[in-house]
Structure 1
Amino acid sequence: MLTTTEIRWFYSGTLPAEIQDWFNTDALGEHHHPPEEREDVYLHIPECEYLGIKLRQKRLEIKLRKAELDALRFGDNWEGKAEKWVKWSCEDPTAESLIPVDLVKKAPWINVKKVRSQRKYQVSCDTSLISVPVDRAIDRACNVEITQLNIHDNAWWSLAFEAYGEDTNLIDNIKAVASWLLKSYPLFKLQTQDSYAYPKWLAISQPEI
């Protein structure tokens, strides 16, 4: 089980090149995880924004929102809604899927293609930070990710902060990392109305009938 505090933004369309270039620059730290391509399968639960269920590479992941926190503002360009989540993972040790393939092919399971770039920052007690490899285990850290999404043949992109560690430090971790990244961020405002988690995005991105 993992408890995190997160802020996410979602935008329709392709990822702006200037934002991808900014995320790749050495100015954000020496450790930049190469983009990861994968396809996740989400269970869409209408009118339910507090529960996320997905299949990811033969692993079942369940996320439950424990609390909706205050909106956080960083400078003049970023404002988003913080949420506290807890995640459980269950992996099938065999080659069999945890859920039958014929069931996955039926609604309301939704395939989402992703190309995700990640960075990780270790946050000290004085809120100073250093760039570290994404796969390094750290007690107090904040992951930052930019993800290109394709759902129902429609392009979206997302920027997210995910902090973990001592519960009392999670908001401070996000503030420290976001404030530092914002110093070099290109002008594209991230707004609270576009800030939510995957369950809400799945509902918003459904094609009109």
Structure 2
Amino acid sequence: MLTTAELRWFYPGKLPEGVLQWFEQDQLGLASAEEREDIYLYVPESDFVGIKLRQGRLEIKWRKAELGDLQFGKVIGKAEKWTKWLCEDSSNECFQPNEVTGKFWVSVKKKRTQHTYKSLADQLISVNVGDENEEGCNVELTELEVSSNVWWSLAFEAYSKSDRTLENLKETASRILQNYHHRQLEAKDSYAYPHWLSLVIK
């Protein structure tokens, strides 16, 4: 089980070139993009639970709390606290996307670039994605496609073993966003995947 504090924004259309260039700056130290397809279960009128199949694994996320608006200069986002459970089947007899049917299962193609930072003293330290770190924050830029419907998303996902989850989120977002001068990131566009799904499958 993993508990995180998160900020996410979603926008329709192709990823703006200016946002991509900003995200690829040397100071962000980004890893190469990952392409995959996730299968989400759409739960109508529910913004607090997310269920998906990801690479043969079932993932369930539950929103534990809404943490209010956070502002970083002109950027405003809605922070939320989430808990994630991972279910894996070593026999590969369950959790197969081709066995999922019904109008409430939604295929989402993703091209995601992610990097992880650790806040240390007055600076951010870049750490390897996937390393075992007790304190940190993932920063993600993702291109999304659902039935030829294209979106993009920017997200911060912080974690902590010492009850500093929200502090890690604030410190990382504050430093990363201080030189963001592109499409305005507003609170009305800040939400998690369950709410985004309700917009794209209408």
Same fold (TM over 0.5): yes
Q: Normalising TM by the smaller chain, what interval? A: over 0.9
1:92 Cα offset (Å): 1.4
The answer on whether the counterparts of 2:19 and 2:182 sit within 8 Å (CA) in structure 1 is no
Q: What is the aligned-residue identity percentage?
A: 50
Instruction: Report what 2:39 is aligned to.
Output: 41
1:90 to 2:95 alignment: no
User: Deviations along 1:16-68, whole A, 9 cap, x unmatched?
Assistant: 11111211121223xx2210000000000100110000000100000000001
Structure 1 residue 113 displacement after superposition: 0.3
Unpaired segments of 5 or more residues in structure 1?
A: none
Equivalence for 2:140: 145
Does residue 12 (structure 1) correspond to residue 8 (structure 2)? The answer is no
Q: Hey, what's the Cα distance between the residues in 2 that align with 1:83 and 1:100?
A: 28
1:23 aligned partner? 23
Look up the SS of the partner of 2:134 in the other structure: coil
Partner of 2:156: 161
Q: What amino acid maps onto 2:147 in structure 1?
A: H
TM normalised by structure 2 equals 0.94
Which of 83, 108, 113 aligns to 1:117? It is 113
- Give, as a single letter, the amino acid of the residue that structure 1 aligns with 2:32: P
The C-alpha deviation readout for 1:131-182, integer Å capped at 9, x for no partner, is 1111221111000000000012100000000000046422221121112112
RMSD: 1.5
Which residue is 2:191 aligned to? 196
Runs (4+) of structure 1 exceeding 3 A deviation are 99-102
Q: TM-score, normalised by structure 1?
A: 0.91
Gaps in structure 2 of 5+ consecutive residues: none
> After the TM superposition, which of the residue ranges 92-101 and 32-41 deviates more from structure 2?
92-101
The count of corresponding residues between Structure 1 and Structure 2 is: 202
